[in-house]
Amino acid sequence: MAAEIKENEDKQANVRRPVLLSKIEGTPDTINQAVIIPKEDGVISVSDDRTLRVWLKRDSGQYWPSICHSLPTAVSCLDYNPQTRRLFVGQDSGSILEFEITEDYNRLIHHKDYLAHQSRVTAVKFSLRCEWVLSCGKDKYFMWHCSETGRRQSGYQAGSSCLCIEYPLSDKFSGFFTYFLI
């Protein structure tokens, strides 16, 4: 018996497709952003129901929240720094909250509030090297604050709502504004 490999089947065999490894269930509302905790089988999520959750994979293979922290307003975005376990959370009110997650991932320690925007924070990034908290919002402003003092360093008003930021963590300042997205 002979077999023939057809060209179309061969092309389909080489196509890589994403594979679902795990699924987190049990969130009642829309999740606005989630980040994977490096070197830990866990995820941090924020959602419209005003909660910040830290999900850890249990022995059963399911993810369960080890932290479920309610905030005053809906949570729109977050950035997590694994070296310092610092978490920056943007809210619909325009403020950014800074937390530290304990080593066992069971408790949040509140450090600072940054009054950054007049309306929803759409993106937040933290640079450990510069100690900057970078953010943009629906109020058409891009802001950056010093995370050591909590003071605003500067800002830029755009022509329309700012939606996202990307910042090269390896550079200190060169080419900074080329990474500002509107």
Q: How confident is the model at residue 178 (pLDDT cuts 50, 70, 90)?
A: very low
Domain ranges of the chain: 27-181
State pLDDT tens for residues 52-89.
999 999 888 888 999 999 999 999 999 999 999 999 99
Provide the whole-model pTM.
0.82
Q: How confident is the model at residue 21 (pLDDT cuts 50, 70, 90)?
A: confident
- Tokens 């999520």 identify what position? 45
Q: Which amino acid is at 45?
A: S
Helix (H, G, I), strand (E, B) or coil at 12: helix
φ, ψ for residue 135 (rounded to 5)? -150, 160
What CATH number labels 27-181? 2.130.10.10
Q: Which amino acid is at 145?
A: H
